[in-house]
Homo-oligomer: A and B are copies of this chain.
Amino acid sequence: MKADTQAKDVKLKILDAAKKLFAQKGFEGTTVRQICDEAGVALALVSYHFGGKENVFYALFEAFTPEFLHKDYALAEPVEDLLSLIRDFARFRLAEPELINLLQQEIMMQSPRLDKVQPIVFALWKQLRAILQAGKATGQFEYESLKHTVHFVVGALIFTRNSSFFDQLLQEDGVQTNEDEETLIRYTSDFILGGLRYEKK
């Protein structure tokens, strides 16, 4: 019992460290040593608990995959559904920026590890795709290419991040830092709905 608890703590410490480092330096750019140092545990424990660096990666997504990915949007109200999806995704991105970051890297480089993670992302994007189709059918959304529109929406959703790289360039305006979750969601929804030519009633 006590042993189990200790093990869980260590596993969690490793996962947290790996999440941070993978996002920062990529999977290949991160060493097991760095992970264990960051976690404050011995080098051997990654292999002991996970069976290798690669399995840490997979465990990361199993542990942190959000529940909303399994949610089924009704498609009866495409606008409402899209707003829900934007909100769900924005919240996940705010809660787990490193995971989004890492995922985006892996997608970009078509990593071999993607095979196992693909279903998770696909679930979300298939829903987005269905919502966009439904919205076009009801005449509420206007676009020509479904494929490209999914790209645009995903791009807008995923790229909105607090990267110091950007902030260097972009901080120097209205100084509206510390905006809350709801504000960010509104900005995102406004832009995307505009891109879909949805007219607010």
Chain A residues close to B by CB (< 8 Å): 23-29, 101, 104-105, 107-111, 114, 118, 122, 125-126, 129, 143-152, 154-161, 163-167, 169-171, 173-174, 176, 179, 184, 187-188, 190-192, 194-197
Q: Are A26 and B143 in contact (CB under 8 A)?
A: no
Q: Are B160 and A152 in contact (CB under 8 A)?
A: yes
Q: Are B145 and A187 in contact (CB under 8 A)?
A: yes
A161–B159 Cα distance when bound, in Å, is 14
A170–B150 Cα distance when bound, in Å, is 8
Contact of A191 among B104, B143, B146 (CB under 8 A): B143
Residues of B within 8 A of A176 (CB): 145, 147
Contact of A105 among B24, B109, B187 (CB under 8 A): B109
Residues of B within 8 A of A23 (CB): 109
In the assembled complex, the CB of A9 is this many whole angstroms from the nearest CB of chain B, namely: 28
Residues of B within 8 A of A149 (CB): 187, 191
Contact of A28 among B26, B108, B188 (CB under 8 A): B26
In the assembled complex, the CB of A94 is this many whole angstroms from the nearest CB of chain B, namely: 13
